[in-house]
Structure 1
Amino acid sequence: MGLPRRPIQAVSTWMRRQPPKVKAFLAVIGGMMALVLLRAIVYDHDNLFIAAEAVHAIGISVLIYKLMKERTCAGLSLKSQELTALFLAVRLYCSFVMEYDIHTLLDMATLVTTLWVIYMIRFNLKSSYMEDKDNLPLYYVAAPCLVLALLIHPTTTHHVINRISWAFCVYLEAVSVLPQLRVMQNTKIVEPFTAHYVFALGVARFLSCAHWVLQVVDTRGRLLVALGYGLWPSMVLLCEIIQTFILADFCYYYVKSVFGGQLVMRLPSGVV
């Protein structure tokens, strides 16, 4: 059993010794290779967005299993769950007034389960909630998103409130995981179910980003025009890329821990 791990450990050791710029370059190359592979094997790239929402739902299901089986919410960020519920609620509103489709149903299911997680943390399992570790103020995350939404939002024919709401949920989704990352940064030890959940978020973010990038490539940029003019189309793509890279470092150490057979994930200094 030790032999298959040696190449992985060698690559991991080599990666760890590289300077940040080299790691970033390798991450970009790896992401581009993954995009090429997805473009080749997925015929309808709109399915990637559905897959992203499905993976997010799976991540929430892992949390529910953790809460029900272990009866503890240690290591979870209530604030990240509240931000997730907020952007899902706003996106549901936008879906109802702008474009009702399958994504609306998926978002509704995810919102219901997220609200259940919030209820469990706030009431049933409050004694195990690490409030002192979950110390990133919500307004640090939500306020800049609202200001940005007021300044840069879609230029469609919908009512301005709906357009601002749409932009707000896009921006908020990109950074909603930051309080959870702060909790893990403060504890340095991530138990398995929390690690599975955050990894699922990372995969979901990448699939969503791949959906947008490949749609732009397939339409040769016409999709950007369909989204409107000004800075908004670029901001949509930028948010997708940002939320992918926010979790990229964590996903690397998660995969490393899984291949190393570690049940509890330990993060080195400087990660997330």
Structure 2
Amino acid sequence: MTVTKRPIYAATKWLRRQPPKIKLFLAVLAGLIALLFLRMVVEDHDNLFIAAELVHAVGICLLIYKLAQEKTCAGLSLKSQELTAIFLAVRLYCSFVMEYDIHTLLDSATLATTLWVIYMIRFKLKSSYMDDKDNLAIYYVVVPCAVLSLLIHPKTQHLAINQILWAFCVYLEAVSVLPQLQVMQNTKIVEPFTAHYVFALGIARFLSCAHWVLQVIDSRGQLLTALGYGLWPSLVLVSEIIQTFILADFCYYYIKSLVGGQLVVRLPSGVV
């Protein structure tokens, strides 16, 4: 073991010994430090949302490489990809009718590549698809999001159906990765390209969450008022935070594996 690695290994070993509450506190502290850093170095916080979409696109590109070069979809969740396609399609529609901008173009590219990934898993590489591990029913995710969007959605000048669809894609995006996490929990070992993809999702979710949090801070809460009234503005922010925390555990084990020089990520029981 080299001298430069010893402090990192010592810190990792110390962190493993800490109780869950201390780990949670340290995770929140690290998140706050990262937020402060982003606030200092990024002048236009709208760029954080664009960066989040670009990182998501990079993750999709890693999947494309895996499928095209390795000719296998083992370890990937078809259901997560389908949920991603659903919320992207809904968000793309909302973007067209409500706010055509750069996000529309980025979502179009991401949706196209996601549909290609779905096609490869369903038809070209079906023999390597781990159907028995991808066992989280989609309706467990879609139905609650649909019901919640009917009850709590923005109150804007747009048509009611567009308001509901906007809320639906926000809620669905927050939990669309759950089937993929279920697959990884079932297999316990995550091969490199799938791990890179999920880690990219984690970074994208953090950047998106940072965008919303910093915008709220900079506007002194006026952004929440601009989003509407009632529970909707708060749920937008909560959804972003939920997305980040859903992937936080995996990102920890991903970084730990990189530090340890491992090519695969090994997950203990109950991580995701």
After TM superposition, the score normalised by the length of structure 1 is 0.99
**Per-residue deviation at 1:20?**
1.1
State how 1:189-208 maps to structure 2 within 5 Å.
189-208=189-208
CA RMSD between the two structures: 0.6
Task: Please tell me whether the aligned partners of residues 56 and 204 of structure 1 are also in contact (alpha carbons under 8 angstroms).
Answer: yes
In structure 1, give the amino acid aligned to 2:46: D
Task: Please tell me whether the aligned partners of residues 59 and 198 of structure 1 are also in contact (alpha carbons under 8 angstroms).
Answer: yes
Q: Secondary structure at the match of 1:163?
A: helix
1:63 aligns with 2:69: no
In structure 1, give the amino acid aligned to 2:148: L
Corresponding residue for residue 80 of structure 2: 80
- Aligned partners of 2:77 and 2:168: how far apart in 1? 21
Corresponding residue for residue 219 of structure 2: 219
In structure 1, give the amino acid aligned to 2:258: V
Corresponding residue for residue 157 of structure 1: 157
**Per-residue deviation at 1:11?**
1.1
1:184-228 deviation per Cα after TM superposition (whole angstroms, max 9, x unaligned): 000000000000000000000000000000000000000000000
- Aligned partners of 2:119 and 2:253: how far apart in 1? 30
In structure 2, give the amino acid aligned to 1:67: L
Corresponding residue for residue 49 of structure 1: 49
1:235 aligns with 2:244: no
Corresponding residue for residue 21 of structure 1: 21
**Per-residue deviation at 1:2?**
2.2
- Aligned partners of 2:141 and 2:73: how far apart in 1? 22
- Aligned partners of 2:7 and 2:139: how far apart in 1? 45
In structure 1, give the amino acid aligned to 2:15: M
State how 1:245-256 maps to structure 2 within 5 Å.
245-256=245-256
Task: Please tell me whether the aligned partners of residues 5 and 260 of structure 1 are also in contact (alpha carbons under 8 angstroms).
Answer: no
**Per-residue deviation at 1:3?**
2.0
**Per-residue deviation at 1:251?**
0.3
**Per-residue deviation at 1:72?**
0.1
Corresponding residue for residue 106 of structure 2: 106
Corresponding residue for residue 268 of structure 1: 268
Identity percentage of aligned residues: 79
Corresponding residue for residue 187 of structure 2: 187
In structure 2, give the amino acid aligned to 1:245: F
Q: Secondary structure at the match of 2:262?
A: coil
1:35 aligns with 2:30: no
Structure 2's unaligned 5+ residue stretches are none
After TM superposition, the score normalised by the length of structure 2 is 0.99
Q: Secondary structure at the match of 1:75?
A: coil
- Aligned partners of 1:183 and 1:254: how far apart in 2? 16
Aligned residues: 272
Q: Secondary structure at the match of 1:122?
A: helix
**Per-residue deviation at 1:10?**
1.1
Corresponding residue for residue 116 of structure 1: 116
- Aligned partners of 1:3 and 1:68: how far apart in 2? 40
- Aligned partners of 1:248 and 1:178: how far apart in 2? 13
